[in-house]
């Protein structure tokens, strides 16, 4: 089980949102780079980075910060937020990013997703962010009428390395992840799934691990780390 500590970047700072609401934002003292180093020092091998400015503006905004984090030894980072072109994907991979998370552009333009998967084999992850089963886009500001369960049928044959499946109504709430909903979704595809949204405790992580679903590759953990509901040392022991 891969654990992905999360770093959300806005205005050059580490932040967390509640249910994707930019009006309900908490800013933290550590810089994104210092926070990344903290995670690495605890032994984590993977990081989940989201450029929230990029997600809102539709362009790479915090590339320099991401580049500095990518230079840290012994870490693999997946990055999303505002990636809208093959050129941007190429730029991020060239600075050391391991996986590129595509969301809005990939959902709205399947040809773009297909081309990205073909050109950057094994490097494309897909963000599927849902409210009540329906996909939301553009930093979760744009709600669609596209069911995630319908959309996955259109892309299941593509070379997508993993799907980050986020229940927006759980995100930042520490109310517990939507385990059953995520596992149900995972049964619709052969693509590995990363659980995101609502992780509140070590027990939540253990509960997901104990499901022993072959489709569940990992877990993104955010808010519970930052308010110290989860002990990093304890979390780092779970693989």
- What the block records as the tokens of 27 is 């800013």
Identify the CA nearest to 140 among candidates 16, 15, 20.
Answer: 20
Helix extents (H) in the chain: 32-41, 52-57, 63-70, 86-94, 104-108, 110-119, 148-155, 179-186, 202-210, 223-226, 232-236
Q: Which residues are catalytic?
A: 8, 129
User: 120: helix, coil or strand?
Assistant: coil
Query: CA end-to-end span of the chain, whole Å?
Result: 5
CB atoms within 10 A of CB 112: 16
Contact by Cβ (8 Å): 191, 162: yes
* Distance from C-alpha of 130 to C-alpha of 147, rounded to nearest angstrom: 8
* Distance from C-alpha of 55 to C-alpha of 37, rounded to nearest angstrom: 24
* Distance from C-alpha of 172 to C-alpha of 27, rounded to nearest angstrom: 13
Give the pairing of strands 124-131 and 162-167: parallel
- What the block records as the tokens of 195 is 């659980």
User: What is the chain's alpha carbon radius of gyration, rounded to the nearest angstrom?
Assistant: 16
């Amino acid at each position: 089980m891969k654990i992905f500590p999360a770093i959300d970047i806005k205005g050059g700072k580490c932040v967390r949102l509640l249910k994707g609401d930019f009006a309900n934002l908490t800013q933290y003292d550590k810089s994104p780079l210092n926070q990344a180093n903290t995670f690495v020092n605890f032994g984590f091998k993977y990081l989940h980075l989201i450029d929230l400015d990029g997600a809102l503006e539709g362009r790479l905004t915090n590339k320099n910060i991401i580049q500095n984090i990518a230079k840290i030894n012994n870490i693999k980072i997946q990055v999303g937020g505002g990636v809208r072109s093959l050129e941007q994907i190429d730029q991020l991979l060239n600075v050391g990013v391991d996986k590129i998370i595509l969301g809005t552009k990939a959902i709205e333009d399947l040809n773009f997703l297909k081309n990205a998967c073909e050109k950057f084999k094994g490097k494309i992850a897909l963000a599927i962010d849902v409210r009540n089963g329906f996909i939301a886009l553009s930093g979760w500001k744009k709600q669609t009428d596209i069911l995630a369960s319908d959309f996955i049928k259109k892309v299941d044959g593509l070379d997508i390395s993993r799907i980050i499946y986020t229940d927006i109504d759980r995100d930042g709430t520490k109310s517990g992840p939507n385990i059953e909903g995520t596992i149900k979704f995972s049964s619709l595809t052969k693509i590995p799934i990363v659980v995101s949204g609502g992780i509140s405790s070590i027990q939540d992580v253990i509960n997901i691990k104990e499901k022993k679903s072959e489709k569940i590759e990992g877990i993104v953990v955010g808010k519970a780390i930052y308010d110290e509901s989860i002990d990093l040392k304890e979390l780092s022991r779970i693989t």
